[in-house]
Structure 1
Amino acid sequence: MTDRPAADSPRFEMLGAVRAFRSGRQLDLGPAKQRAVLAVLLLHLGKPVPTHRIVDAVWGDEPPENGANVVQKYVAGLRRILDPDRSPRTPGELLALTDGGYLLRAGSLDIEDFRNGLARADTSRRAGRLEEAAGMARSALDLWYGDALGGLTGPVFDAARNRLTEEHASAWELWAEIELSRGGFAGLVSELSHLVEEYPLREGLRAQLMIALYRSGRQAEALAVFRDAREFFLDELGAEPGERLQEIHRRILRNEPLGGGPPSGAASPSSTAPPSTTVFPSPASPLLAGSPPPLAAPPPPDDPMPVVVPAYSPASAGWPGGAPRPAPPGWPTGYAAPGAPVSPGSPGAVPHGWPTGALPGELLAPRRERIRWLAVLVAAVLPVATCTSGSWLYFAWTAVQRRSARYWATAAGYLGTFVLAFALIVTDPAPEGSVESTAQGAVGVVLGLLLLITSSVHGALLAAHPGDTVEARARRDLARHFAAVDPAGARQSGIGRPDLLRLFDDGGLIDLNHAPLREIARLPGVTPYEAHRIASVRYESGPYLSPDDLVRRGLLPAKTLRRLAPWLICVMPEQGPRA
């Protein structure tokens, strides 16, 4: 912190678009890249940030040639805005250059106010001061004015936004639990219904909605919430709701009392019965730092499906050694026979309850991308049907779907070739009425025929190899969100484990903490030696907290990681990170 008066220190806000205020007046932070540089410094508030990390976060795969100079220019602009009283050519106080990089010292930050407000609210809740706790929690939630880091894109900002979104959802659960403890059931239903739509993977919010409906005398609607939750989780994740939701469902069916207040027409709302709902903050959230830990999430069912293979160790890098156990004819090699005495964590274990005579691949084999013959046909016929004028259309559509500049360049090349061929034919100087063409016209015709054949064959081949798609990216985003909310459920569902038989399609993710060596070695650009080091280091030095650890631990070059990052995930092992 600087020695200047607190009133003169700027206040920064990131729970929405990045903003800065001084004395109640909003400051103009300059161009978008300059605001992005400020956001990187705010994400590491009070810690020096090396220039190369700022460049990677702001520009990603397309850094400027003179990145250090560009960052220096933006830092100078931020100093003029944030520290206008500083004399020119004197060291900055608010934004300083240290041996470790640029260091930002802020007067106040809304993220810290948000977290501190929630910690005070939880402390008051535990002390029984529910009205005070509700006000504190609501004040903290009111600090949000949009999507965190609004307008900023890139892996660094997306990861930070996801973490903050999880904290936001946990804050809503804390507020809802406080209100349930106060007995405000009917008034919560509308807001909790909206929150369930906004955060569909948060089982805590669904549980609180069920309790609010049940305690308001709306038992049928509470049961309908569970049915909707079960249908959603089965469709999207291929897994049943957690034990917590199922226990609440069973108690409602038996018409048993639930915590959070008395049933309608029974005891007074001032009942001291402890609430049965408990906030489960995300593991990375410092939401309740300094206070007693919340109750642990309930354990998974006894017979999870599919069974998850243990984390990598030198002794278990591949399939179990030795001769396979006896199995029926046609049973896949490496899998135990149905009912064979295999430990639940064994790679050869078969999920409990498998239908008699069914092979694993018939139910839970990872979904393979099939050739989409309709797309192949459209891509091949489109240039012919449009007389080459639409030869570029399929490639432009592919560029949109796969977010690839390469396909945009391909589409532009085909379009330019068509324009050139058309111009050569139209401007052919052959005499009017002549059936002969000049060399120019002949070149245009040949160029058009080559364009027709090339674009048709190229488009068909491209359609036959789908690659990355919007649907796959959406599945990966959903899987990452699920893993952040419920790591245990992610492990059970086999997220990031293409080697497992599973129902859940995660869009092609690879879990660096659990995927076997052979799957890591299949990543493009990763050599067998690098894959072995990745698998060994996670066993020797502890699990990876994020894919960036591969660069921090010297296992992969930053350029390779940037190319692979969309397909990497780090699901926390059951025992958590090692000390």
Structure 2
Amino acid sequence: MTDAPSDPALRFEILGGVRALRGDEPIDLGPAKQRAVLAVLLLHAGQPVQPHQIIDAVWGDEPPENGANVVQKYVAGLRRALEPQRSPRTPGELITLTTGGYELRAEANALDADRFQEGLARASTERKAGQLAEAADTLRRALDLWQGEALAGLTGPIFDSARNRLTDARATAWEKWADIELARGNHTGLMPDLARLIEQFPLREGLRAQLMIALHQGGRQAEALAAFRDARAYFLEEFGVEPGERMQETHRRILRGERFYAEPVDPWADSDDLPAPPAATASPPSFVQQYVPPDVTVVVPDHRPTSTPPSYPTGAAAWGLGPPAPPAYARSGRGFPIGEVIVATLLPIVICGLGGWIFFAYAGVRRQDKRQYLVALGYAALFVLAVFIILIDPSAAENPDPSSTEWIGVMLLAGVTVGSSVHGAVLASHPGDTPRSRNLRLQARQFAAFDPQRAHGIGIGRPDLLRAFDDGGLVDVNHVPGHELARLPGISSREAHGIVIDRLNRGPYTRPEDLIVRGVLPMRTVHRLSSRLICLPTPPTTTPPNGWPSTYPPHSAQHYS
């Protein structure tokens, strides 16, 4: 953040809902879109943001007409709310208009995410000085700044990416706090917190290893081993992989009955405190843009073949006791939604076309596909039209033979009934983007952010490989062949070929937005596919002389968005 003239009592929060406070009093930030504009400016605090960047972040694929004027209107509303003493026609001091766009100039540490970073840095200094109690207290105060999910209520690739980075930073801070508490011998009081944190961050193997250590240190070895079995079952079921080296080594030491933290240690001696900032850019990024959790030790499964698609067994097959089990999503019986197909087929027939629109409205909500709302509206309109034609029949009521008008209405009603029934069955048989798929993609992204090397090893984002898990349809732009890219909606065969050639000539992509920067795909296509795309780096092929697995480069996790 940069210092600039501003109300010193003005504070901003994004570690929860987006809020602004003057002292302890919240400020009315106006409509939801206006708060979203403020969030974009906060994520780029101290840097100019072009209006088109704000439009892309806030509205995505559905920009408003005269978008620049709409952004100007919302910025004016924010200025009135945040600088009430400013004269109407004087330039804004907090949100200024520069040649590069709108720039938010707040006081240093006015943003709670920056105060969170400052707490982590102070805790690092304190633990280096051997002040473990003070470092643990500082971390807890920093973590207390969180009031829920970061940027709560905001959706879109920009906000989702920032939310993932902040969530990873939060989980890492909890791990470091737990390390200090274990080093201080506070294993008993730590157990409830670790159990809660594992539910909140199920993919963080560090937290699971710490719970095992706390149970073991408390004389509850059987429960510590049970915690490992539970963790192993979770990772095998969800991803078809064994737990990482840290959990494996902790498990071995518990089996041998070894003690942990037998004497005072530096719990972070083998890891960097905070990552160094990335290479200099035109404007230095804020903490929200650059912070990445510290290095994580990862292991590539050594059974990964180099020339044939991998198959990662689960259950007895994982121990060589039988043939590989079928994929988790095939075992679950959810590969073909037979129930939805039956409902979609019978609903219009049972109620004579009246409900032909109901399934499509449901599909629009479930899949977050606005096109289905239009289909539902179309079937509803055709049903109303058919009934209207039948009711306005001009022929005499006592005439037993149906008139031509009535026949038209009846045929139209039959067409709506049969058409919506068949159409609904076809749509239901192709599950599309369901809540389950979105949840699977979220889990796979979290796994990739935590352990990118192993994520690459097991084939996350590789629908062309035989895998023992379902990642919700993610596509790894850096490694899938061209024909898989061409199967994505909106990407032609020529564009898919261009992506493959570009990544060969200019190196891998660090984030999906690089497809726009390099001119390979248009912005609208990338934004439409952003929930499906992931960019995993290729893991290093060299093995350190000591034979231990190498630590993954510290700045990679920020790009798994």
TM-score of the two chains, using structure 1 as the length reference: 0.83
Match of 1:328 in 2: none
**CA RMSD, aligned part only?**
3.3
- Picking from 499, 503, 521, the partner of 1:538 is 503
Deviates more, 1:423-432 or 1:551-560: 423-432
Unmatched 5+ residue regions in structure 2? 278-285, 541-552, 557-561
Match of 1:334 in 2: none
Q: 2:548 matched to 1:556?
A: no
Q: Distance in 2 between matches of 1:288 and 1:58?
A: 17
Local SS of the residue matching 1:186: helix
Local SS of the residue matching 2:102: strand
- Tell me: CA distance 1:161–1:296, structure 2 relative to 1, closer, same or farther (3 Å): closer
Map 1:69-148; keep pairs closer than 5 Å. 69-107=69-107, 108-148=110-150
Q: Distance in 2 between matches of 1:145 and 1:351?
A: 39
Amino acid at match of 1:70: V
Q: Distance in 2 between matches of 1:126 and 1:214?
A: 27
Local SS of the residue matching 1:8: coil
Match of 2:360 in 1: 395
Structure 1 residue 460: deviation in Å?
2.4
Amino acid at match of 2:501: S
Aligned residue pairs, count: 526
- Tell me: CA distance 1:429–1:294, structure 2 relative to 1, closer, same or farther (3 Å): closer
Map 1:171-320; keep pairs closer than 5 Å. 171-259=173-261, 262=262, 271-273=263-265, 275=267, 296-303=296-303, 307=304
Q: Distance in 2 between matches of 1:100 and 1:230?
A: 51
Q: 2:362 matched to 1:409?
A: no
Q: 2:168 matched to 1:166?
A: yes
Q: Distance in 2 between matches of 1:282 and 1:300?
A: 24
Local SS of the residue matching 1:297: coil
Match of 2:17 in 1: 17
Q: Distance in 2 between matches of 1:298 and 1:76?
A: 48
Amino acid at match of 2:529: L
Match of 2:451 in 1: 486
Q: Is the 8 A contact 1:177 1:278 kept in 2?
A: no
Match of 1:30 in 2: 30
Match of 2:420 in 1: 455
Higher relative contact order structure (alpha carbons within 8 Å, sequence separation ≥ 6):
2
Deviates more, 1:6-15 or 1:448-457: 6-15
Structure 1 residue 72: deviation in Å?
0.6
- Tell me: CA distance 1:23–1:489, structure 2 relative to 1, closer, same or farther (3 Å): same
Q: Is the 8 A contact 1:11 1:20 kept in 2?
A: yes
Amino acid at match of 2:264: T
Amino acid at match of 1:79: R
- Tell me: CA distance 1:349–1:388, structure 2 relative to 1, closer, same or farther (3 Å): closer
Deviation readout 1:149-176 (Å, 9 max, x if unpaired): 1221222112211111111111111111
Deviation readout 1:218-273 (Å, 9 max, x if unpaired): 111111111110111111111111111111111111111122xx4xxxxxxxx324
Q: 2:8 matched to 1:47?
A: no
Amino acid at match of 1:155: P
Q: Distance in 2 between matches of 1:25 and 1:524?
A: 47
Map 1:440-451; keep pairs closer than 5 Å. 440-451=405-416
Deviates more, 1:453-462 or 1:41-50: 453-462
Q: Distance in 1 between matches of 2:392 and 2:186?
A: 79
- Picking from 303, 306, 319, the partner of 1:345 is 306
Q: Is the 8 A contact 1:119 1:288 kept in 2?
A: no
Q: Is the 8 A contact 1:110 1:143 kept in 2?
A: yes
Q: Distance in 2 between matches of 1:429 and 1:48?
A: 68
Looking at CA atoms only, which structure, 1 or 2, has the larger radius of gyration? Answer: 1
Q: Is the 8 A contact 1:83 1:94 kept in 2?
A: yes
Percent identity over the alignment? 53
Structure 1 residue 276: deviation in Å?
9.0
Local SS of the residue matching 2:530: helix
Local SS of the residue matching 1:12: strand
Q: Distance in 1 between matches of 2:41 and 2:348?
A: 50
Q: Is the 8 A contact 2:389 2:406 kept in 1?
A: yes
Structure 1 residue 482: deviation in Å?
1.1
Map 1:60-71; keep pairs closer than 5 Å. 60-71=60-71
- Tell me: CA distance 1:47–1:9, structure 2 relative to 1, closer, same or farther (3 Å): farther
Deviates more, 1:49-58 or 1:370-379: 370-379
Deviation readout 1:111-165 (Å, 9 max, x if unpaired): 0000110111122123210011011101101111121112212221122111111
Structure 1 residue 562: deviation in Å?
1.5
- Tell me: CA distance 1:558–1:349, structure 2 relative to 1, closer, same or farther (3 Å): closer
Q: Distance in 2 between matches of 1:27 and 1:468?
A: 37
Structure 1 residue 211: deviation in Å?
0.9
Match of 1:153 in 2: 155
- Tell me: CA distance 1:3–1:100, structure 2 relative to 1, closer, same or farther (3 Å): closer
Q: Is the 8 A contact 1:366 1:500 kept in 2?
A: no
Match of 1:340 in 2: none
Structure 1 residue 300: deviation in Å?
3.3
Deviation readout 1:168-215 (Å, 9 max, x if unpaired): 111111111111111111001011101101111110111111111111
- Tell me: CA distance 1:120–1:543, structure 2 relative to 1, closer, same or farther (3 Å): farther
Q: Distance in 2 between matches of 1:121 and 1:69?
A: 45
Structure 1 residue 487: deviation in Å?
0.6
Structure 1 residue 485: deviation in Å?
1.4
Match of 2:537 in 1: 572
Unmatched 5+ residue regions in structure 1? 263-270, 308-343
Map 1:462-477; keep pairs closer than 5 Å. 462-477=427-442
Q: Distance in 2 between matches of 1:565 and 1:290?
A: 20
Q: Is the 8 A contact 1:2 1:93 kept in 2?
A: no
Local SS of the residue matching 2:234: helix
Match of 2:549 in 1: none
Amino acid at match of 2:139: A
Amino acid at match of 1:177: D
Q: Distance in 1 between matches of 2:274 and 2:241?
A: 20
Q: Distance in 2 between matches of 1:94 and 1:448?
A: 61
Structure 1 residue 277: deviation in Å?
9.9
